[in-house]
Amino acid sequence: MKQQRLKRIVIATLASVSVCVAQGNSSSDEATLDDKGNVYVMSRDGRHIRMTDTGHCAETIFADDRQTVGCLVAVNEHGQSPGGPPPSLQLEIYLKGGEKKMIEAGACALQIENQVSDEKQCGHQDGKVTVPHEVFLAKIRACRHAFLELGVEDGIVVTRTDSLGAGLTQQIAVSHKPGDLGDQYNSFLDCEEVTAANARNGDVIINRNGKMMRPKRLASNLYQFRAGTGEDRCVLDCITSLQNGADLLWIETEKPHIEQIAKMVDRIREVIPNAKLAYNNSPSFNWTLNFRWQVYDAMKEAGKDVSKYNRADLMKPEYDDTPLAIEADERIRTFQADSAKRAGIFHHLITLPTYHTAALSTDNLAREYFGEQGMLGYVKNVQRQEIRQGIACVKHQNMAGSDIGDVHKEYFAGESALKAGGAHNTMNQFG
């Protein structure tokens, strides 16, 4: 099973490209894997060429000895090296990439996203730039191959799409025929029709349904997508990811709205019925305001009286005990269960919660400690709660390793060890 799957992946990386060996100009479009995990390219003259860890060097195997014959160079049908990392050299990503190092360190799941690396933004910020599908799918195959190379058959690949809020792309996709992935990606580009008369120097022009179209290029040299295409791009991202080795999807949205998420998942499941979604219950959302807006809008649509609420001010404390706010809080409480049922969310994650809890608790402590409460601000709200809730960190010396240090000292110094533990250690006050 492992050998068959690897063979299929390797062949996929060699598609549409010839591999030329420096000596002999032989070419190959097949690859196999031996029991030790070595990848071999079979040249058309019958030689077995082993890809080394760099992915750039080839060796001919003669029984027990090896003879280096040259470097592998990826070329297209015109004998030219394609721009960017050639598909045949994706093996370098497989064999040397960070994915493999992370798995060796114990990672059981890898998460990748479809933003370009050099323009990377937080998923909830503006200015996001995506890559064409073929670029992203190559990364998915790299992750899957990294797992299989290390014998991890059940490694999880999570693919995140930021297309819903990403209005830009760095590249125009390569398209070989109408309707292929490259053509679908380019169909979302914001373009204007051009003729020979109004074409400008340096224009990039694509053929769309027989018309010459100029994608709108910004001063940053990025291309923009048509407004309103985000959901369609997300759905296509997710379907193609699952079809090419992903296990779990991650869609970044601009608000925590179950029906918005479910609408996209419903479309994905028309093609992939068992599609599962990971969702980021992010502190980047104003959860209070978003859900109060949702309840306000639902009340208004149902014809209920909302005259005592000002939609623009729903964050104010005076609304906290109103029926609207109580309903909003209940929706927040059940969000995980409700979205799992309706929108197919399989895994709920939350980013940066402890960053915010640490900031809030530190700020509150500072206000009390340097205010009227003084030391009581710490004792009542921190230490006393640690003791009563059984929080181990109340014995901070122990958590810092003093007990372990004593064991170490005693092992090497015996009775002469100068240990931290003992009758006078204040940790004893905590039981």
pLDDT of residue 132: 79
Question: What is the spatial distance between Cα 195 and Cα 193, in angstroms, rounded to a whole number?
Answer: 7
Give the C-alpha separation, 301 to 189, whole Å.
35
Q: How many Cβ atoms sit within 10 Å of the Cβ of residue 121?
A: 15
Q: Which residues contact 207 (CB under 8 A, 6 or more apart)?
A: 213
Sign of CA dihedral 310, 313, 319, 322: positive
Distance CA 220, CA 151 (A): 43
Q: What is the dihedral of CA 266, 271, 275, 281, to 10 degrees?
A: -40
Phi, psi of 97 (to 5 degrees): -65, 165
Which amino acid makes up residue 295? Answer: V
Its pTM surpasses 0.75: no
Please give the Cα distance from 268 to 272 (Å, whole number): 6
CB 155 within 8 A of CB 110: yes
Alpha-carbon span 253 to 251, nearest angstrom: 6
Residues 165, 125: Cα–Cα separation, whole Å:
8
Measured in whole angstroms, the distance separating CA 196 from the mean position of its chain's CA atoms is 42
Q: Is 115 helix (H, G, I), strand (E, B) or coil?
A: strand
In the numeric block, which tokens belong to residue 107?
């990672």
Cβ of 287: how many Cβ atoms within 10 Å? Answer: 18
β strands within 180-276, DSSP E: 191-193, 206-208, 211-215, 223-224, 248-251
Distance CA 109, CA 250 (A): 13
pLDDT of residue 258: 95
> d(Cα 145, Cα 7) in Å, to the nearest integer?
10
With residues binned 3-state (H G I as helix, E B as strand, rest as coil), the percentages for the chain, rounded to 5, are: 40, 20, 40
Specify whether the CB–CB gap between 114 and 162 falls below 8 A: yes
d(CA 312, CA 292): 10
Q: Per-block average pLDDT, block size 10, for the chain (431 residues)?
A: 32 29 33 50 46 36 30 33 39 53 83 67 57 82 85 88 78 85 88 81 79 84 87 91 91 91 94 92 92 97 96 96 97 95 90 90 95 95 92 83 72 69 72 79
If you ran DSSP here, which 8-state letter would residue 395 be given?
S
Q: What is the pLDDT of residue 20?
A: 29
The two tokens of residue 15 are 């598609």
Q: Is 124 within 8 Å of 254 (Cβ atoms)?
A: yes
Contacts of 282 (CB under 8 A, 6+ apart): 123, 124, 256, 350, 351, 352
How many of the other CB atoms lie within 10 Å of CB of 138? Answer: 18
Residues annotated as part of the active site: 122
